[in-house]
Homo-oligomer: A and B are copies of this chain.
Amino acid sequence: VTGVWSIVVAGGSGRRFGRRKQFSLLGGRPVLEWAVEACRPVSSGVVLVVPAEGSSASSESHGADVVVAGGPSRSESVRRGLDAVPADAVVVLVHDAARPLASASVFDAVVDAVTRGGVDGAVPGLAVADTVKTVTEVDGVRRVAATLDRRTLVVVQTPQAFRADVLRRAHREGAESGIEATDDATLVEAIGGSVCVVPGDPGNFKITTPDDLRAAEERLPAAGAG
């Protein structure tokens, strides 16, 4: 696909991302290599953002075209990745390095939604199976404030696809206003951009625990596991 670049984010503060989870071995290869490889079919190029401290790790490309050092936050890491994306890229994908099992169809769906036009971004979303409530803390006790209508809720994943110009502007303005966003779509929404939701993939979970790693191991495609 011409003009589509991907940013795989393995950097960040490590508060949320277990620092080493993306380097854990899955089917004999680091988790992040699977994430980079998953981007390949739809990408002209892939930028990998690695933790700034992991200089030994960053000396390897892990299959990416460009490797850059991340910043102190997830958003800052994506910004550094964006700086390495060629100026003529039309669509930019952002993908978590800790999601090695994203399917080709999820990549196709978000890229298609953005290239078709009418939206600035597309994210994979899953229905919420559990009851979700909002809480407020009163005198040290957490009380239920409201129960949300779960039919209107989605849990979002990566890859997330965006018009390159809109994502660049969203990150520029997000940096200026200091928004702490947990995904890139939030920054695009904050500047008034439109983001659509395509069906997510339950198998595209984020590796955050040893249990997740074992579950991922069982789901590896046979060809890649050797």
Contacts and interface: CB of A to CB of B under 8 A. Distances in A.
Interface of A: 16, 118-119, 123, 125, 128-136, 141-148, 150, 152-157, 181-183, 185-186, 189, 194-197, 206, 208, 211, 215
B143 A186 contact: no
A185 B152 contact: no
Contacts of A129: 16, 206, 208
Q: How many copies does the complex hold?
A: 2
Given A147-B189, A211-B215, A156 B142 contact: no
7 contacts: A129-B208, A132-B153, A134-B153, A136-B152, A145-B152, A147-B183, A150-B182
A15 to B, nearest CB: 12
B143 A194 contact: yes
Contact of A197 (B119, B144, B197, B211): B144
Given A133-B153, A154-B132, A211-B215, A147 B197 contact: no
Contacts of A215: 211, 215
A197 B143 contact: yes
A119 B129 CA distance: 27
Which residue of A144, A147, A155 has the most chain B CB atoms within 10 A of its CB atom? A144
B197 A133 contact: yes
A188 to B, nearest CB: 9
A141 B196 contact: yes
Nearest to A215: B211
Nearest to A194: B143
Given A185-B144, A197-B143, A156 B134 contact: no
